[in-house]
Amino acid sequence: MNNVAIAGATGAVGREFLKLMEARDFPINNLKLLASERSVGKTLEFRGEKINVEELKPNSFKGVDLTFFSAGKSRSKEFMHHAVDAGTVVIDNSSAFRMDPEVPLVVPEINPHMAFKHKGIIANPNCSTIQMVVALYPLHKAATINRVIVSTYQSTSGAGAKGMSELLNQTHAFANNEPLEVSAFPAQIAFNLFPHVDVFLENGYTREEMKMVNETQKIMDAPEMKISATCVRVPVLRAHSEAVWIETEDKLTAQEAREILESSPGIIVKDEPVAGGYPMPWDANETTETYVGRIREDLSHPKGLTFWVVADQLYKGAALNSLQIAEVLAAG
């Protein structure tokens, strides 16, 4: 898989792919950068070389072994079959194929074996789902989780570069007593938050919330697990946070849970009952691990636990998880 393409290369996640592939020394002979027509003529740097951005077209995938898609759901649906027909393996970061029963939905710490069951497409889960399941899975293996309640605190990077820019621009405008422009989000995000990520559905939940329900059940192969989510957008640049409550079949003490998480891949436990003794989004910026803290037994349920999870949305929540899937495939 040495001939690699990135579709959506000029977006927030696309640029993170370049940084991570360089940092992790991912094996590449030829790299093709693909984006919309308006990005043609731009160059991006990779391993000291400037690479021209090409327009994403149906014939872009000839000779490409692996393509990372991060160009949005509609573009994935438009171009995916062209890539697969050309013999390219696609790791798709959009929601287009996540719940397709023929497409594996992979988090390497949990179900790496599923990556080899692809038929040309592997789906990368939703960012808020990824960090939660990394923490849930080892606890589920130890004590069987019956129920999950989660509230997310999702950064503006979840809406891409335009979301991050809007937070910065509104903050600057607020400080200078200027009008605040709202375009990337449904409401002002500077000095505010709102429980509204993605569109509302008929059941009263948002699509983001239902992604967490459906994707968690699929990744963990736990269709009976009961899950309820409330997703909140907060004025943080990058890194999502989550407050998670679980009820288990077998009781786990907080110390047992702490020890299980400390020995689990991809997790760093930061859990001291002092100021700053817990994960925060600012600390998680541009880091590759999922951080867990505030681990405690739930006072309202005899077999309940609650904890706090933080991870970089652009890294583990998007580009890094996709790259880790590719590393699983490369290792064979």
Q: Active-site residue among 118, 127, 140, 231?
A: 127
240: annotated active-site residue: yes
State how far the Cα of 285 lies from the Cα of 314, in Å rounded to an integer: 9
Q: Percent helix, strand, coil in the chain (nearest 5)? A: 35, 25, 40
State how far the Cα of 203 lies from the Cα of 196, in Å rounded to an integer: 14
State how far the Cα of 251 lies from the Cα of 302, in Å rounded to an integer: 8
Question: Which tokens belong to 261?
Answer: 């998480």
Determine phi and psi for 117, rounding to 5 degrees.
Answer: -100, 15
DSSP state at residue 40: T
Give the C-alpha distances (Å, rounded to integers) separating 117 from 62, 86, 114, 246.
23, 19, 5, 30
The H helix count followed by the E strand count for the chain is: 8, 13
Q: Active-site residue among 118, 140, 231, 240?
A: 240
Instruction: Give the DSSP letter string of 149-201.
Output: EEEEEE-GGGGHHHHHHHHHHHHHHHHTT-PPP--SSSS--TT--BS--S-B-
Please list the active-site residues: 127, 240
